Each structure stands twice: as structure tokens, then as C-alpha cells.
Structure 1
Amino acid sequence: MTKIDTIYHTKTGPVLSFEIYPPHPTRRRALYAALADLEPKKAGVDFISVTYGAGGQNNQLQTHDIAETIQTDWGIPVLHHLTGINQTPNRLQQLLEKISTTGIENILAVRGDVSGLSQGTHDFPLAKDLIQAISKTQQFCVGAAIYPEGHVDNPATGINIAGVKSKMHAGTKFLISQLFFDNQAFYRMQETLSSQGIHLPVSAGIAPIISPQHVEKLTYMTGSSLPAQLTKLIHKYQHDPAGFRQAGMAYALKQVYDLIDHGVDGIHIYAMNQQDVLTTMIPKINQYIQNKKTDGRSPKENKHA
């Protein structure tokens, strides 16, 4: 199966991907039905990211099972998440061997969220430590997260250049951004990376808001700011669930089209296992990409070659 950094370096136009999480076992069939309905390869999807859901350490097995099924049944590269929280060198080696035997070659390495159930270990306290350990095997293409508006746990605002450079030197081959609702935050991040000589491919992470509660949860978890236009939309549709959902996806699509017009390396949709997000947004994004190629509006050049 193809390594993701190769896709970034060879594809004309932005790389298209989305993220899902392991659902409750009773909902796994529904997730696979949504993927079958979408037909990811026909929809222009380049890879699918499989993260952890609730459940702590046991969820690593769920992540692996779902990642293996997707890559096998749909023939599309999978980005398998791994966290440093509660990880030990021995356990990591076992996981990497298990992942490798199923033909998965791409890993997103993150620190993970520290909670009452996840106290962390001294082995991989930061994402860069986990990235370095995985990269030493030379079997995997390793990606990492980047935060356009700064990490929610860091009181300082803005991108952490030292952190990004440490991930790059540890072996990171590409980056996926945390979600944001104001494209200017992403463009400012791009300028900062370029000025610091960091030229890794970066996919822009977009999360369509689907309810007022969803907005509250996302902003609490990520610290992403809400532009005035989105705030007005939230108030307008706060008592209209169907209208809110449609308006939220429309706002996200507007973000995506602007990002594509600005020549981003990739678009990464945080789909939250929502079938309508997948079947509505992904085909529209792919069609927009194809239209730009057809009408000659200069799709992204291979600037990482």
C-alpha cells in the first residue's frame, strides 16, 4: 500500500482525506455501510485516518481492527493513530509489529490527551519522542499534528515552531492541522512555517459543525476561535437542528473551496463518523478539485518534490 508522503509528493492537486473513530461495536456495521455508500476511491479520497475513540488503552485494538478492514476491503491507504499516553517501549514494539503484518504503512503519532485514566508515562512524554521511536524502524511513514492557533494546553497563542521543528527532526513526513474555523489562521501558519524553513506537506483540518452542542464541545477541546460569520450562523439556526446541520456543512465547504483556491497541500475532514458529512461533503470537494483541473485554474504544483 502507498505511503502517504509519496501521495503528497506525486499528486497534482490537494490530497483529500478524512478522519473517523472506532464506534461502539453495535455501530461498526453502520460505519462500514457509510463507507460502502461513499466508495472512497471513486470519491477521490487518498487516505482515511482512524483515530482512538473513548475507551483508553483497549481502543488501540479497535483502531487496528477497523484500519485493517478499511485498507483491505476498500483498497485505500489508512493512517493508523498511535498515542504516547500510557505507552511503553515494549508495548509500542508489539503494536508496530501487529500494524506492519497487516500491511499498514502510515501512522499518525500524537501525545494523546492526559486524563484521570491516562496519567502518561516517562517513555514518550511528547509526540516527538513517539515519532522518533516509530521512525527508527524505517517501516512507516509518520505524520504529526500541528496547531494553527496554538495547542489548547499551552497558554501562549500561535504556532509552536520549536515543537514543529522537533517533530520534523524526529522523522515526521507530513502534518495534519487541528481544526480551525477561520482560514486566515491557517494562512498565517503557512507563512510562519515557510519563513522558518519548514516545508513539510500540511493538510488543513476542517470540521463541519452539526449542532450547537457540537460547537461547544469542539471549541472547548481545541480552543479554536469562532469568526463573526460563524457566530451569526450559530445564533440563526440554534433552534433549527436540520437547518443548523446544513448550514454548518455549507460553511465548512466554503472554507474548503477557499483553501483549495489558495493551493493547500491537502484537505482533511474531521467527519465524526457522520454519514451525511461523508456522502455530502467528500464528493463535492472532489468535484471542486476536478473542476479546477479541467478549467485550467492551476491546480497545486508539486512544491515538495
Structure 2
Amino acid sequence: MTKISKIYYTKSAPVLSFEIFPPKKETGIELLYRTLDEVNPQKLGVDYISVTYGAGGLGDNTKTCNLAQYIQTHLGVTALHHLTGVNQTPESLRDILAKVEQANIENILALRGDLGDKTYVNVNYPYAKDLIYGIKQLRDFNVGAAIYPEGYTGNPITGISIAGTKEKIASGADFLISQFFFDNDMYYNMQERLKNNYIKVPVSAGVMPIISKTQIERVTHMIGSPLPTELVNIVHKYEDNSEDLKKAGIEYALKQIQELLDHGVDGIHLYAMNQPSVLKSMLPIISQEIKTKHFFENNISDHG
């Protein structure tokens, strides 16, 4: 398939991608395959699909690799294989990369991984930059890295780390995907800081719809900052009606995306959470927004 950085540099419209994870149960895998087939991401112009890695880096990457291979072989879309540094050794990294390469997967998202459990260690690859460097030393993969518009839990600094971002790029990161955020101004501030520091690698804006009450505490912990007032009001208004909350959460995320596209982002990365309702309701609209905006801008430039 295609190296993802090449998609960013050659596509004239914003890049469209989304994230899924390998379900633990066989029934979940079958449902996900069926959903992906029904959505038909290639027809919608999805440029790549990212597949997460097991929590804490434990176990092998078979499920991630199999799902990524299915995406490329059956859906005809480029896959992005996640990989974490937690509990990784040079030997295990070498084995995983060989398996990924054998599956004809060319793109890896290199992450530090979750350190929430005491059994998780990062002796060999304590930071994402170390994992990125390790991958680049062993194989010629296109490597993506994460960027955090609002900072992240455990980091006392609010907003992105310019130094950390530069280290990831110096280690070999070819493109960046942002953590999800709910306040677009945080992303615009990040864009400005990247520009002012001459960081020019492509960045996709990560968006996750709030679709349930149980999701709220988890995501606010992950981003390390409170939800915007508008979104808090939505949650309070529909907290006793799960379907209305899901609908309102999706509408909020779509509004976010429309404004991000108007602001000229390099790409949109949807955190789909394996939810059929998210994929089926949001992807066609995002795809159409990108096509319409691209068509309009092309006509404006053509007629000078």
C-alpha cells in the first residue's frame, strides 16, 4: 500500500482517517468486519485506518496485524499499525516489525504506551522518541507519532511540548496525529506554536464524539483538562436519554470537524471506538465536507 506521509504531501484535500481496535471476542471481530464492509471506507475516500495495539504492550500483535492486513487486503485502504514501547525489548521489537513487514504493512504509529499499571515497564524504550528511533534503525517503515494539543495526564505543562515534538521528529517521525480534544482553540494554538517553531510535518486533528455518560470521566482524565462549557451543557441536558446524548455528541463532533476544515487542517482523524453508529453516521458527512470544501476552493482558485 502507500506510505502515509506521501498521502499528506500529494493529496490536495485534507487527509481522512479513523481509528479502530481489535475486539477481544470473535463475535466482536465479526461485527467490526461487517461494519467496515457496510461503511465501505475506500468509496468514502478514507485515506488510512489505524489499528490500536494491546494494552500495556502485553502479548503479541497478532490481532492488530490481522486486522490491519484485512483493511489493506479486503477494503483496499492503507493501514496504520499501532505499536507501544511499554514492555518492549529489542528482540520483541525486531520480531514484531518482521511480522508487520511480512504482512505488507508499511506504516506504524509509535507510542510510549500506558504506564498506569506497575507491571508495565519502559526500560528499553522509555519515550516514544526512543521507540521511533528503534524502529527506524531496524526497518524502513513510515512512522507516525502522537501530539497533544491540551497536554496529557502526568505532564505538568499545559498544551503541547515543542521540545518533545521536535525530539520525535528528529528520531524519525514522518507525520503526527493529535490526541482528541474538544476545544478547537487549543488545536489552533498548537498549530500556531508549531508554525512559530518551524515544525512542518503534517498533522491530523483527532476528534472523538462523546456518545455516553461513562465515556466522559475517562476522556477528561486522558486529556487532562475540563470539557468546554458547551459540551458540558449538552451532557447535562441529555444525561438521562442515552440516544439523544449520542446524537448530540455526534453533532458536536461534526461541528468541530467542519470548523477544523475551515481552518485548514492537514487531516481529520476520527476516534471511532468501534461504534457502528459513529462510523455510519459520521464518515459519510465528513467525506462530503472534505469533497465539497475541496471542490469550492479549487473553483475559486481556477477563476482567480
**TM-score normalised by the chain length of structure 1:** 0.95
Q: Cα deviations across residues 65-89 of structure 1 (Å, max 9, x unaligned)?
A: 1111111111111000000000000
Q: Report the alpha carbon displacement of residue 61 of structure 1 after superposing the two structures with TM.
A: 2.0
Instruction: Tell me which residue corresponds to 1:197.
Output: 198
The answer (yes or no) to whether the contact 1:206–1:267 under 8 Å persists in 2 is yes
Output the CA distance in 2 between the equivalents of 1:39 and 1:68.
Answer: 16
Q: Partner letter of residue 269 of structure 1?
A: L
Superposed CA RMSD in Å reads: 1.6
Instruction: Tell me which residue corresponds to 2:5.
Output: 5
Q: Report the alpha carbon displacement of residue 59 of structure 1 after superposing the two structures with TM.
A: 5.4
Output the CA distance in 2 between the equivalents of 1:106 and 1:237.
Answer: 40
Instruction: Tell me which residue corresponds to 2:21.
Output: 21
Q: Partner letter of residue 217 of structure 2?
A: E
Q: Cα deviations across residues 84-117 of structure 1 (Å, max 9, x unaligned)?
A: 0000001100100100011000000000001336
Q: Partner letter of residue 174 of structure 2?
A: K
Instruction: Tell me which residue corresponds to 1:240.
Output: 241
Q: Cα deviations across residues 205-259 of structure 1 (Å, max 9, x unaligned)?
A: 0000001111111112232431111111011000111000000000000000000
Output the CA distance in 1 between the equivalents of 2:234 and 2:157.
Answer: 29
Q: Report the alpha carbon displacement of residue 152 of structure 1 after superposing the two structures with TM.
A: 1.2
Instruction: Tell me which residue corresponds to 1:162.
Output: 163
Closer/same/farther in 2, CA of residues 75 and 117 from structure 1, 3 Å limit = farther
Output the CA distance in 1 between the equivalents of 2:240 and 2:208.
Answer: 21
SS of equivalent residue, structure 1 residue 255: helix
SS of equivalent residue, structure 2 residue 209: coil
Instruction: Tell me which residue corresponds to 1:289.
Output: 290
Output the CA distance in 2 between the equivalents of 1:187 and 1:263.
Answer: 10
Instruction: Tell me which residue corresponds to 2:230.
Output: 229
Q: Report the alpha carbon displacement of residue 297 of structure 1 after superposing the two structures with TM.
A: 6.6
**TM-score normalised by the chain length of structure 2:** 0.95
Instruction: Tell me which residue corresponds to 1:85.
Output: 86
Closer/same/farther in 2, CA of residues 4 and 235 from structure 1, 3 Å limit = same
Output the CA distance in 2 between the equivalents of 1:280 and 1:48.
Answer: 17
Instruction: Tell me which residue corresponds to 2:46.
Output: 45
Output the CA distance in 2 between the equivalents of 1:298 and 1:199.
Answer: 27
Closer/same/farther in 2, CA of residues 56 and 138 from structure 1, 3 Å limit = closer
Higher alpha-carbon deviation: 151-160 or 166-175: 151-160
The answer (yes or no) to whether the contact 1:124–1:130 under 8 Å persists in 2 is yes
Q: Cα deviations across residues 281-304 of structure 1 (Å, max 9, x unaligned)?
A: 01100101111122337799xxxx
The answer (yes or no) to whether the contact 1:109–1:127 under 8 Å persists in 2 is yes
Which ranges in structure 2 are unaligned for 5 or more consecutive residues?
none
Instruction: Tell me which residue corresponds to 1:186.
Output: 187
Instruction: Tell me which residue corresponds to 2:153.
Output: 152
The answer (yes or no) to whether the contact 1:85–1:118 under 8 Å persists in 2 is no
Output the CA distance in 2 between the equivalents of 1:251 and 1:28.
Answer: 29
Q: Report the alpha carbon displacement of residue 55 of structure 1 after superposing the two structures with TM.
A: 7.5
SS of equivalent residue, structure 1 residue 287: helix
Aligned length: 300
Instruction: Indicate whether 1:218 and 2:219 are aligned.
Output: yes
The answer (yes or no) to whether the contact 1:13–1:289 under 8 Å persists in 2 is yes
Closer/same/farther in 2, CA of residues 117 and 38 from structure 1, 3 Å limit = farther
Alignment of 1:69-80 (within 5 A): 69-80=70-81
Closer/same/farther in 2, CA of residues 157 and 54 from structure 1, 3 Å limit = same
Q: Partner letter of residue 3 of structure 2?
A: K
SS of equivalent residue, structure 2 residue 80: strand
Q: Partner letter of residue 69 of structure 1?
A: Y
Output the CA distance in 1 between the equivalents of 2:170 and 2:47.
Answer: 25
Output the CA distance in 2 between the equivalents of 1:18 and 1:202.
Answer: 14
Instruction: Tell me which residue corresponds to 2:208.
Output: 207
Structure 1 residue ranges (4+ consecutive) displaced by more than 6 angstroms after TM superposition = 297-300
Output the CA distance in 1 between the equivalents of 2:230 and 2:116.
Answer: 34
Alignment of 1:50-65 (within 5 A): 50-54=51-55, 56-58=57-59, 60-65=61-66
Which ranges in structure 1 are unaligned for 5 or more consecutive residues?
301-305
Output the CA distance in 1 between the equivalents of 2:91 and 2:242.
Answer: 47
Output the CA distance in 2 between the equivalents of 1:54 and 1:162.
Answer: 27
Instruction: Tell me which residue corresponds to 1:303.
Output: none
Output the CA distance in 2 between the equivalents of 1:148 and 1:291.
Answer: 27
Output the CA distance in 2 between the equivalents of 1:132 and 1:187.
Answer: 29
Q: Partner letter of residue 61 of structure 1?
A: T
SS of equivalent residue, structure 1 residue 205: strand
